[in-house]
């Protein structure tokens, strides 16, 4: 979860594709295993007090990837 958060913060404001996230966290052999990513994002959102329905930090771009925004 920390690795995902760090990756998103490094690319703050930009869309990070699912493939890019998967390759960086688990290697290129897992680029298509996006179900792992969904689980990881859900756990991370819970820990930082974010919500998929009304996100403040982690925004899902359907079929593309994620974007991190700091509301402050």
Instruction: Report domain extents, the chain.
Output: 2-68
pLDDT tens-digit map of 10-59: 999 999 999 999 999 988 777 677 888 999 999 999 999 999 999 999 99
Beta bridge partners of 61: 65
Q: State which fold the 2-68 domain adopts.
A: Arc Repressor Mutant, subunit A (1.10.10)
Average pLDDT over residues 53-72: 94
> For position 58, what pLDDT does the model report?
98
**E strand segments, 11-64:** 15-17, 58-61
């Amino acid at each position: 979860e920390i690795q995902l958060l760090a990756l998103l913060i490094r690319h703050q404001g930009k869309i990070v594709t699912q493939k890019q996230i998967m390759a960086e966290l688990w290697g290129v052999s897992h680029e298509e295993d996006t179900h792992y990513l969904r689980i990881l994002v859900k756990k991370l959102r819970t820990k930082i007090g974010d919500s998929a329905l009304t996100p403040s930090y982690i925004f899902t771009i359907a079929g593309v990837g994620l974007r991190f925004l700091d509301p402050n």
